[in-house]
Amino acid sequence: MNLFVYRIAKGHEGGIIEDSCPTNFNKMYQTSLKETLLNTDLGQIPYETNNYIDFLHRELWQCGKLRQGWGIEGLDLIGVDNDADDTEKNRWIKNYVLGLKKYWNIDPLDPNSGYNESHLPCHEAAGRMKMLSSVMLNTKPKDIIFIPKHSFDNHHDDYHFTICEVVGPYYFDLNKNYQDFGHTISVRNLKTFKYSEDTIVGKDFLGQHQKAVSEIKENYMVYNKFLNFINKYYIF
C-alpha cells in the first residue's frame, strides 16, 4: 500500500514546474509544430462558467472518479512513463503545446506569452508530464489517496481533508462537455476528516505535497504520521 496526495483540480492553474525537453524536440518545434501553431486558432475552455467544479465533485462522490487537470485531448499518460521513448514523449509534449493555444488561450509564439529561451513551452510540458505520469501511472489498487482542503459538503474546504482507497489503475476518460480533466483514478470508501493539531494539520500537506499529485514516500517526515492516521481512523 502506497500513500499519495492528490489536490483537487482547478482548471489550467499551477506553479511553474519544468523538466528537460527531449533531445530532438526543438527541431520539431522549429518546423512542423511551429507551422501547426500558426494555423491554430486561440481558444479558451470556459472554466469560470462551465460549472466544472460541480462536475468534478459529482464525479468523485457519486461515480468514484478522481479526476486531475491538464487532461485535454491528446494528453493520455499511457505510454509516457520513465521507460518511454522520445516518440511518445514528443507526442504528449506536442499536444500540450498545441493545447496552450487551442484550449488555454496562450500563444507560445507570442512574445508576451511569458516563454523565452530559458523557459520554453516544452520545458513546462515536460515538467507536467513527468509529475503526472510518475504519480498517476504508479497509483495502484489498495493504495490510499489524501485529498487536502476537500469534503463532501465543500469542494474547497479549509477545515477538512478527504481520504479514499484506489480500486483501479489510471485511465484517460475525457468528457467532451468540459474538454479537460481526462486523467482519472477510480476510488471508493471516501471519508472526510477535520484538521486537528492532534492528528493532521493543513501544513502537513505543504512542501513536496503542494504539487497537483505527489507520493508520500517512506523517508518523508510525515509518512508515519499519515500511516498511523489511516490505521487508527480510516477503517472499513
Alpha helices in the chain (DSSP H): 25-28, 34-38, 52-63, 86-102, 121-136, 223-233
Question: How many angstroms separate the CA atoms of 61 and 189, rounded?
Answer: 10
Residue 116 has pLDDT above 90, yes or no: no
d(CA 113, CA 20): 20
State residue 131 phi and psi, 5-degree precision: -60, -50
Predicted pLDDT at 18? 85
Residue 14 has pLDDT above 70, yes or no: no
Q: Are 179 and 72 in contact, with CB atoms under 8 Å apart? A: yes
What pLDDT score was predicted for residue 13?
A: 62
**Higher pLDDT pick, 20 / 14:** 20
Quick: pLDDT tens for 154-187: 999 999 999 999 999 999 999 999 999 999 999 9
pLDDT at residue 104 tops 90: yes
What's the pLDDT at 15? 66
Indicate yes or no: pTM above 0.85. yes
C-alpha to C-alpha distances, 116 to 37, 55, 101, 136, nearest whole angstrom: 16, 35, 16, 30
How is residue 92 written as a grid cell?
Answer: 504528449
Q: What's the pLDDT score for residue 58?
A: 97
